[in-house]
Chains A and B, each alone.
Chain A
Amino acid sequence: MKVTILDYGAGNLPSVERAFERLGVATERATTPESISRASAIVLPGVGHVAALIRALDTLGLRAPLCEAVRRGVPFLGICLGLQVLFASSEEAPELSGLNLFDGSVRALPSTVKLPHMGWNQLRRARESRLLRGLTDDAWFYFAHSYAALEPGPGAAATCTYGAEFSAVIEWDNLFAVQFHPEKSGSSGASVFANFVEMAI
């Protein structure tokens, strides 16, 4: 199998590629609707401003094929902004629409804590998680974000709390997303990728 990584210029794309390489999994970069339509597993990396991601998806014409692939049951993994863009909207770019695969909006973390939420944090499992299989509750993950899916919904398999509780791992059928950066989370991040690959095969 091959993992298709959406390439819209995200800074963390090479690290994500390397993470799959280390697992012996081939990847390809996708910039066209056709490459999304024939993908057997899709990863949407993301770092920075959500507006850049949403605009890139629309400019490249990837919005519809991406939603279509998810509906078809193609395993999908969103990372950081790749999680946030699944919601209807984000406070970071209120004028733009997200992919609207989940209800609700992404909001700013409260200003009672230092922002960005930057560094290693742990998770609380809300239910059994397929992405976190084999990982213990004290596993650490690297976060770098100021916006989050607050008030975790039924899709949240694990949450993290920093100023407020937010969705850290989302799992809904073939739709997976993590707010942290597995490609920067050492061996625990590698396990998340390995679990995704196992489900995608």
Chain B
Amino acid sequence: MTLARRIIPCLDTDGARVVKGINFAGLRDAGDPVELAARYDAEGADELVVLDIAASRDRRPTFLETIRRVAAELAIPLTAGGGIRTLEDARAVVRAGADKVTVNTAAVERAELIAELAGEFGSQAVVLAIDAKRAGESWDVRVRGGRESAQRDAIYWAREGVALGAGEILITSVDRDGTQCGFDIDLTSAIARSVTVPVIASGGAKTPAHFVEVFTAGGADAALAASIFHERIQPIGALKEFLAREGIAVRLTR
């Protein structure tokens, strides 16, 4: 009886369609969120994340409708985020069917947002997403889709976020995102060692070996990826079978 390590596909959307960019730029269409969600549920995904990376005010109703349609397909947990700036934004996402919300830039700008969300929905529903970029011996927090520096240490911010009530940390390596050359193991393990909550690693995954590495050396509780799942470079079922053979506890559904 062991808590399974989780495999989490991420749907980056423009509100309505799934898109994918490299290093947070150069977006292109990668499919219909509802179709992808149903496929991942069937393949054995442990959770699903849906992000609104455009996060523009006028597209918001479209994104909420996307959450509703995705949630209706799923019998696994759904996390939604992107552009959540207020408690009211988070309520709309939860009402649409999300089990958890992720906050990123807005929490950097106003840390109390984390406490407000934890107070209303409980810590288990609050995921602090941190985009981090290596800066010498440490990692700098990046905001606005990775474009700007927040002038803040990622480890410090992760700890602070947990103290305020975040129930999970989603750590994305800006350096590795979209490169498919493996998770940033140093970054992941530094975060995992620093906080008392589960850590989701993101950015750079391609091969099954990358996942083994992030769960062992990286100490991650969950691993998130997007394009390798969308483009069927790495089927989730085969990935989990590989992890099981490597002695990593995963939920096998077949």
Residues of A within 8 A of B (CB): 11-12, 14-15, 18-19, 22, 47-49, 111, 114-124, 140, 142, 144-146, 160-162, 181, 183-187, 189-190
User: Is A144 a contact of B76 with CB atoms below 8 Å?
Assistant: no
Interface of chain B, main secondary structure: loop
Most buried by B among A15, A119, A187: A119
User: Is B75 a contact of A118 with CB atoms below 8 Å?
Assistant: no
Given contact pairs A114-B221, A183-B75, A144 touches B3 in the complex (Cβ within 8 A):
no
User: Is B71 a contact of A15 with CB atoms below 8 Å?
Assistant: yes
User: Is B3 a contact of A115 with CB atoms below 8 Å?
Assistant: no
**Residue from A116, A124, A140 within 8 A of B123 (CB atoms):** A116
Given contact pairs A15-B71, A47-B125, A115-B196, A184 touches B1 in the complex (Cβ within 8 A):
no
Q: What A residues does B123 contact at CB under 8 A?
A: 116, 146
Q: What B residues does A140 contact at CB under 8 A?
A: 4, 251, 253
Most buried by A among B119, B124, B125, B197: B124
Q: What A residues does B6 contact at CB under 8 A?
A: 119-120
- Nearest chain B CB to A73 CB, angstrom units: 30
**Residue from A15, A120, A181, A187 within 8 A of B97 (CB atoms):** A15
Listed from nearest, the 8 A-B pairs whose CB atoms lie closest are: A48-B122, A144-B124, A140-B251, A120-B4, A120-B251, A116-B124, A122-B1, A184-B77
Bound-complex Cα distance A183 to B76 (A): 8
User: Is B75 a contact of A117 with CB atoms below 8 Å?
Assistant: no
Residues of B within 8 A of A (CB): 1-6, 41, 46, 71-72, 75-77, 94, 97, 99, 119-125, 167-168, 196-198, 221-222, 251, 253
Q: Whose C-beta in chain A lies nearest to the C-beta of B73? A: A18
User: Is A121 a contact of B99 with CB atoms below 8 Å?
Assistant: no
**What are 26 contact pairs spanning A and B, CB under 8 A?**
A11-B121, A47-B121, A49-B122, A114-B198, A116-B124, A118-B124, A118-B198, A119-B6, A119-B198, A120-B4, A120-B6, A120-B251, A121-B1, A122-B2, A123-B1, A140-B4, A142-B77, A144-B77, A144-B125, A145-B124, A146-B124, A160-B1, A184-B75, A186-B253, A187-B75, A190-B75
Q: Whose C-beta in chain B lies nearest to the C-beta of A182? A: B75
Q: What B residues does A18 contact at CB under 8 A?
A: 72, 75
